[in-house]
Amino acid sequence: MFKNRDIISMADFSREEIDHILDVAEMVEKNPTDYNNLLNNKIMALLFFEPSTRTRMSFESAMYRFGGKCIDLGPIDASSLKKGESFTDTIKVVSRYADLMVIRHPADGVARYVSEIVDIPIINGGDGTGQHPTQTLLDLFTLKKENKLERVNIGIVGDLKYSRTVHSLVYALTLYDVEMTFIYPPSLRLPDGIIEYLVKNKIKYKECNDIEEVIEDIDVLYVTRIQQERFPDVSEYYAVSDSYKITKNLLESKAKDDLILLHPLPKKNEIEKELDETHYAKYFLQVEYGIYVRMALLGLIMGAFE
């Protein structure tokens, strides 16, 4: 089902396929050291044209846990791109050195383009404001582990316009029996294309600008950072940069006691630091689950798992 498959957009996945990845991730989580040599003859290339801590390092960690190896383009200035080699040529060259490639790029659609010009499987590690499918798979894994993937109200709060993690997550959640509530400053609504997709597929959702209006009904609060780097005009960023903050007081006074707080990270000031040590916060658990999900994906794509 997944051998040699590209992982580009959550819109490419069926519910059955997602559930299978989550099942394999759960199998790996149970006995992670059972697979030490699973990919010991495989090489993964990492090409990150934007900063990353989690995506880059968790893919590396996942590959090493399988006995595989990683090569990394490194900083652009240290590659022959600096000498004027084209992006396309660079990609074609690196694809001859590896069995699989993970790419992050600031432009929407680049991962799809790369998948069309090379013969090895491509994993989209985030393309501009487009998609971040592996983040969504670990988000779904977290929801599953927390028993919050069916019959729950998921509030998605913050930068819905530019956050690729949100875009991927919304596509995926349309396949599950959940309610979605979008909470955002007026200038940061979901892109029209995603709203149109929801309407066309008759997916019910709520929208509001003030979290206090809806917090009592929320089971999962998925918080996002305002994506400063995506704003064409910095003044537009500063107009919304402090527009919301999830506080301990808000959750303790108004939210359900079993609400869980997710965040793809990195976070800045949108979640009060005091919340990190509370039972609501699951974002560091998400980070850990990212290893199992990315191990599952590598094993499936390389044909080592069915």
Which residues have a catalytic role annotated?
A: 54-55, 83, 104, 132
Q: Is 53 in the site for ligand CP (CB under 6 A)?
A: yes
Q: Is 55 in the site for ligand CP (CB under 6 A)?
A: yes
Torsion of CA 236, 228, 224, 179, to 10 degrees: 50
> What's the number of CA atoms in the CB half-sphere (13 Å) around residue 26?
13
Closest CA to 7 of 126, 145, 129, 176: 126
Q: Decide: helix, strand or coil at residue 220.
A: strand
Q: Is 90 in the site for ligand CP (CB under 6 A)?
A: no
CA max distance for the chain:
58
Site string for ligand CP, 131-150 (x = CB under 6 A): -x--x---------------
Residues 105-134 that bind ligand CP (CB under 6 A): 126, 132
Closest CA to 116 of 129, 101, 133: 101
Which of 42, 54, 144, 294 binds ligand CP (CB under 6 A)? It is: 54
Q: Residue count at the site for ligand CP (CB under 6 A)?
A: 10
Site string for ligand CP, 196-235 (x = CB under 6 A): ----------------------------------------
Of the candidate spans 11-19, 111-119, 171-179, 261-269, the one that interacts with ligand CP by CB under 6 A turns out to be 261-269
Q: Do 220 and 262 contact (CB within 8 A), yes or no?
A: yes
Is the peptide bond between 266 and the residue preceding it cis, with omega within 30 degrees of 0?
yes
Chain residues in the site for ligand CP (CB under 6 A): 52-55, 126, 132, 135, 264-266
